[in-house]
Structure 1
Amino acid sequence: MSAETAGPETLGHLSDEPKGEDPGTKGRTITGKSPLRIAMGRLLRDKIALVCMAVVLFFVVIATFAGPLQKLFGVSTETVLPSRFLNLDLTPKAEYGPPYGPLTMDHPFGIAPRTATDNLAFWLEGAQNSLQIAATATILAMLFGVTLGLLGGFLGGAVDRFLTFVTDFFLTLPFILAALTIAPIINERFRDSPNYTTIQVFALIMVLAGFGWMSVARLIRGEVLSLREREFVQAARVMGMPTGRLLLKELLPNLVAPIVVASSLMLPAFVSAEAGLAFLGIGVTSRPSWGQTLNQGISFFDGYALYLYQPLIGIVLLVLALNLLGDALRDALDPKTRR
């Protein structure tokens, strides 16, 4: 009997060994990753995204510390007696840099024709002005668009139809025509006001935000229409959760990805729009702007091309980096992406 029982005991002992388990993985723990952690991992593996992040961070530092950087380089947007620095053709004299002389330590980017202002100081303040206006307009447009998209998509019915009509109405209004109409009114109405510069900046921000929220509202509305039928939303409704809490605590966290992507693509569009309006003379004209420099640099392009290239390179680098970073964020936050 002892021989009969030995076999089954031995077989039972062998059958206790886990099937299909790799001995090399014994003792390892498998940990899950949140969607945000997965997205950050994808983003950090994208070399183009890292370069774009560095470029954007560079411009953010410039916009934040434009004043201290001017003091560090010893430059200023103020100048006295332009005739002291300029030739008869209104170009800088050779001892003050291009186009007839080399760049100097006193003026690392040279000086501007006609006004003799320092190009580096004007470039730094132009970057600050452009990013401040574009970032503020982006934040306002996102707040307005997300709010309307949430309300329209979740409430539905008459509220959704009304908000959709308002969105479609604003989409029919041409942006440039509206800017061309509003700018002369602002200039004429507040030209003599001591706060004219602030009013001009505020008006431009309102114009940009007022014509930028529609795409965000439509995007968020479409996302909410699909999310409101999900089980966690239905469960929250059954539990009697208030509408405001449901929108903020349940739906909004699930909209972080499209909101981040939309804002990252809206910001470069506003940077380009601000420079374009300043170039046309209907944007911010009372503060330094890259668009103003582009407008003035056309007249001196043949003999002083560097004056035109400096703001142009800044605009191209910033807008290109923001656009590529937005594409990288969209790919990183998309769970279906395989990169």
Structure 2
Amino acid sequence: MSGKSPLAIAAGRLRRDKVAMVCLSIVIIFALIAIFASQIASLFNVTTQPGNPSQQLDFINDGMPLKGPPRNGFDPEHPFGIAPKTAKDNLASWLYGARTSMLIATSATVVASLVGIVLGLVSGFVGGAVDKVISFVIDLFLTLPFLLMALVIAPILNERFALTPDRYQTMQVVSLIGILAAFGWMGVARLVRGEVLSLREREFILSARVIGMPTTRIMVKELLPNLVAPIVVAISLMLPAFIAAEAGLAFLGVGITQGESWGQTILLASAYFELYPLYLWEPLLGIVVLVLALNLLGDAIRDAVDPKTRR
């Protein structure tokens, strides 16, 4: 019987973990929702366009919907209800908000991981002055408070493109991905650097140096395959953090302000919490369920990769 690689063994442990499999199923469902948000919205015949407030909202009293929640039963035309003031369909906002959160968080995770992996490899393997410079940059970024820097940088970037409305929404997404990635790569870089420092004196690396293998090839062909497990763990824990951060910045008004976002919906719904709690709970539960599933899945991956961490 052929031996199994460490990753194959870890995958087998992960498949036997029922909690991990449930969390993975939840993450896949959310990913499919994000990918096929347009098709799902068309299936339910809902759009993100504002409705007809004069006919759908009760402006005589407090502006709540005339049909559906919070004061009436289920409305099949708007399964999640409609929003006050705009009469926009909440299901459509939820679906496209899921797409926005997943797109931004996934893109920021990929960018931050690539930057962290490259700098960590170079810093740990080359050493010397290069290691000192990269370590100083890592420490410098770690000392910068993320929330404060985001509150300062995001409005500047958004204002820079405010004069080009056709590109404003896209640039908001790009700038937010850049901000999240710029303050999220340091953990991966430190992790990779530490692993490389422990691997670069191993026999297979010394042998590669002796036979004259180029430095780039050593890092890519010899070191990187041995770093897959810790990198996967780091990525699995970074993704939920970015989802929560994106929603938090949108809630503070410096994230996504045009287009759909769970955080923006929470900001709008917070004013109606007492009158219309479902309006607030829909995006909030989406964030909680997705982030919790990703965190539990990340913990399960970590335990599968390193069984010594099991409690």
TM-score category of the 2 structures, normalised to the smaller one: over 0.9
Could you tell me which residue of structure 2 aligns to residue 301 of structure 1?
Answer: 273
Matching residue's letter, 1:44: R
Q: TM-score, normalised by structure 2?
A: 0.97
- Given that residues 154 and 179 in structure 2 are in contact (C-alpha distance below 8 angstroms), is that contact kept between their aligned partners in structure 1? no
Tell me how large the CA RMSD over aligned residues is. 1.2
Unmatched segments (≥5 aa) in structure 2: none
Could you tell me which residue of structure 2 aligns to residue 34 of structure 1?
Answer: 5
Question: Percent identity, aligned pairs only?
Answer: 62
- Cα distance in 1 for partners of 2:170, 2:207 equals 49
- Cα distance in 2 for partners of 1:176, 1:336 equals 34
Farther off after superposition, 176-185 or 151-160: 176-185
Q: TM-score, normalised by structure 1?
A: 0.89
Matching residue's letter, 1:90: G
Q: CA deviation at 1:336?
A: 3.6
Q: CA deviation at 1:32?
A: 2.2
Matching residue's letter, 1:315: I
Q: Does 1:70 align with 2:29?
A: no
- Given that residues 51 and 89 in structure 2 are in contact (C-alpha distance below 8 angstroms), is that contact kept between their aligned partners in structure 1? no
Q: Does 1:134 align with 2:105?
A: yes
What pairs up with 1:115-126 in 2 under 5 angstroms? 115-126=86-97
Closer/same/farther in 2, CA of residues 195 and 225 from structure 1, 3 Å limit? same
Q: CA deviation at 1:34?
A: 1.7
> Residue 143 of structure 2 is aligned with which of 166, 172, 176?
172
Q: Does 1:91 align with 2:51?
A: no
Q: Secondary structure of 2:87's partner?
A: coil
Q: Does 1:208 align with 2:211?
A: no
Q: Does 1:106 align with 2:77?
A: yes
Q: CA deviation at 1:184?
A: 2.2
Could you tell me which residue of structure 1 aligns to residue 167 of structure 2?
Answer: 195
Q: CA deviation at 1:188?
A: 2.4
Q: Does 1:334 align with 2:302?
A: no
Matching residue's letter, 1:147: V
- Cα distance in 1 for partners of 2:161, 2:232 equals 36
Matching residue's letter, 2:223: L
Q: CA deviation at 1:318?
A: 0.2
Q: Secondary structure of 1:195's partner?
A: helix
Matching residue's letter, 1:212: G
Q: CA deviation at 1:183?
A: 2.2
Could you tell me which residue of structure 1 aligns to residue 24 of structure 2?
Answer: 53
Q: CA deviation at 1:91?
A: 1.3
> How big is each residue's C-alpha offset from its partner over 1:172-226, in whole Å with a ceiling of 9 and x where there is no partner?
1111111111122123222120201111111100000000001110110000000
- Cα distance in 2 for partners of 1:338, 1:56 equals 23
What pairs up with 1:261-272 in 2 under 5 angstroms? 261-272=233-244
Structure 1 stretches of at least 4 aligned residues deviating more than 4 Å after TM superposition: none
Larger radius of gyration: 1
> Residue 157 of structure 1 is aligned with which of 104, 124, 128?
128
Could you tell me which residue of structure 2 aligns to residue 320 of structure 1?
Answer: 292
Closer/same/farther in 2, CA of residues 337 and 277 from structure 1, 3 Å limit? closer
Count of equivalent residues: 308
- Cα distance in 1 for partners of 2:299, 2:155 equals 37
What pairs up with 1:222-301 in 2 under 5 angstroms? 222-301=194-273
- Cα distance in 2 for partners of 1:122, 1:31 equals 51
Matching residue's letter, 1:228: R
- Given that residues 97 and 260 in structure 2 are in contact (C-alpha distance below 8 angstroms), is that contact kept between their aligned partners in structure 1? yes
Closer/same/farther in 2, CA of residues 32 and 159 from structure 1, 3 Å limit? same
- Given that residues 240 and 294 in structure 2 are in contact (C-alpha distance below 8 angstroms), is that contact kept between their aligned partners in structure 1? yes
Could you tell me which residue of structure 1 aligns to residue 283 of structure 2?
Answer: 311
Q: CA deviation at 1:79?
A: 2.5
Unmatched segments (≥5 aa) in structure 1: 1-29
Q: CA deviation at 1:337?
A: 5.2
Matching residue's letter, 1:283: G
